[in-house]
Amino acid sequence: MAEEMRIVLRNYGKIDPLKIDDYIAQGGYKALEKARSMDRETLIEEVKKSKLRGRGGAGFNCGQKWSFAYQAQADQKYVVCNADEGEPGTYKDRLIMENDPHTLIEGMAICAYAIGATKGYIYCRGEYPHLVGILNTAISQAKEKGFLKDFDIEVRSGAGAYVCGEETALIESIEGKRGEPRFKPPYPPSEGLWGKPTIVNNVETFANIPVIVEKGADWYASIGVPSYPGTKVFTLTGDINNKTFFEVPTNTTIRELIYKYGGGIPGGKKFKAVQIGGTSGAFIPEELLDTPVAFDNMAAIGATLGSGAVFVLDETRDIVDVVTRIAKFFEHESCGKCAPCREGTARMYEIMSKINSGKGTTKDIETISRLGRVMSCSCLCGLGQAAPAPVLTTIQHFKADYHAKLV
């Protein structure tokens, strides 16, 4: 069985997040110094070789992303941290920023050196106003100690829009606009913030960087599942005894997360379903619980790793009611830029409400399944493409629950 292993949360509880000397005493900012002693291509090659993949949900090879921005020719490049964690049930990035803000800053500074950027932004969700002060304190301490050299970091606050977790919507928001996703390509590493090459990485991704630089790519690549190595922070919610967080290697199974780390289901009740990766994640039944949590293993069962939220439902839960609530979420959070998502999420919520209130027919299940399939391939961004997943996977795995509610 995989044991808990702390990489991104390595300093959790060990340091005072507002004291840079505590971070330095744990070896902090040594990796940045080491990175600057390497030439840029070797550094990027090392990150590539570690096989670190983005922890925000898309799972793209981090070093490869950096190499695109490195190769791009421009008078200005940007490093942006996506700290807009809006996936319901997720609070891992808050844990990192609250407890160890310097690991994020060090990771960003290493990226800035690698791609040749002098300006960075941390886009922090509006629901975390207390983090702005912590981050600004940490940034000015790092500046004062001379670690950041010519690299400046500014903290920007979101204002309550789930779609801004999508990197191009986030970029629009930093530019002071409505957070609507852009058409891609061009991708941000070639044309991002204000049209300049931009790396957008998640908080957890950046927090891995100093350790990879310090201990080497081979060490990192040997942890967990080879195609998605390293650790992942999970946050457990719903019907689970330990409503808390864990950082585990990626070869940990879903069953271990729920029963070993989560302590199982409260009140002696039986497991019904688990939704992983946030509110756009698939609902997973009992028979698939032995799947490792790594990206490709999850994809193979039609699920996603996403943000690492683990939302457990016991046998007494009305899954159709929960999915109706989720459909309402997407109807509310759709930005309205593309028709398949704007109209699709509204119709999806409408049909789910009809089924949930006992007025649905088998025809409605057929219609909503077809709508879901169309949305997954026709929506502009990840929000609309993933929005049908909870509906489609519950129809697939928990059809009886739907049938029980039909007229």
Report the nearest approach of other proteins to the CB of residue 88 (Å): 3
Q: Which two tokens stand for residue 74?
A: 């421009």
Q: What is the footprint of other proteins within residues 88-117 (CB under 8 A)?
A: 88-91, 94
Residues 285 and 69: their CA atoms lie apart, in Å, by 41
Size of the site for other proteins (CB under 8 A): 49
**329, 349, 398, 402: which one contacts other proteins (CB under 8 A)?**
329
Classify 251 as helix, strand or coil.
Answer: coil
Residues 126 and 218: their CA atoms lie apart, in Å, by 38
Report the nearest approach of other proteins to the CB of residue 328 (Å): 8
- Whichever of 251 and 307 has its CB closer to other proteins, that residue is 307
Q: Which residues of 230-269 are buried (b: 16+ CB within 10 A; e: fewer)?
A: bbbbbbbbbbbbeeebbbbbbbbbbbbbbbbbbeebeeee
Q: Is 283 among the residues that bind other proteins (CB under 8 A)?
A: no
CA angle 4, 8, 10 (to 5 degrees): 70
Q: Is 257 among the residues that bind other proteins (CB under 8 A)?
A: no
Report the nearest approach of other proteins to the CB of residue 318 (Å): 9
Q: Is 262 among the residues that bind other proteins (CB under 8 A)?
A: no
- Whichever of 99 and 237 has its CB closer to other proteins, that residue is 237
Report the nearest approach of other proteins to the CB of residue 383 (Å): 13
**147, 162, 246, 295: which one contacts other proteins (CB under 8 A)?**
162
* Strand positions, DSSP E, 305-356: 309-314
Q: Is 167 among the residues that bind other proteins (CB under 8 A)?
A: no
Task: Note the residue count of the chain.
Answer: 407
Q: Is 177 among the residues that bind other proteins (CB under 8 A)?
A: yes
* Strand positions, DSSP E, 243-308: 245-249, 271-276, 283-284
Residue 368: closest CA among 387, 398, 384, 391: 391
**46, 85, 247, 401: which one contacts other proteins (CB under 8 A)?**
85
- Whichever of 36 and 328 has its CB closer to other proteins, that residue is 328
**106, 166, 167, 333: which one contacts other proteins (CB under 8 A)?**
333
List, in order, residues 6 or more apart from 300 with CB less than 8 Å away: 291
- Whichever of 179 and 249 has its CB closer to other proteins, that residue is 179
Q: At what angle do helices 129-144 and 101-115 cross, to 10 degrees?
A: 60
Q: What share of the chain is helix, strand, coil (3-state, %, to 5)?
A: 50, 15, 40
Q: Is 349 among the residues that bind other proteins (CB under 8 A)?
A: no
x/- map, 201-230, other proteins, by CB under 8 A? ------------------------------
Report the nearest approach of other proteins to the CB of residue 313 (Å): 7
Residues 303 and 292: their CA atoms lie apart, in Å, by 11
Furthest C-alpha separation in the chain: 70
Q: Is 258 among the residues that bind other proteins (CB under 8 A)?
A: no
Q: Is 196 among the residues that bind other proteins (CB under 8 A)?
A: no
Q: Is 350 among the residues that bind other proteins (CB under 8 A)?
A: no
In the complex, the residues that contact other proteins under the rule CB under 8 A are 85-91, 94, 125-130, 156-162, 173-179, 194, 235, 237-239, 243-245, 275, 279, 309, 311, 313, 317, 322, 325-326, 329, 332-333, 335
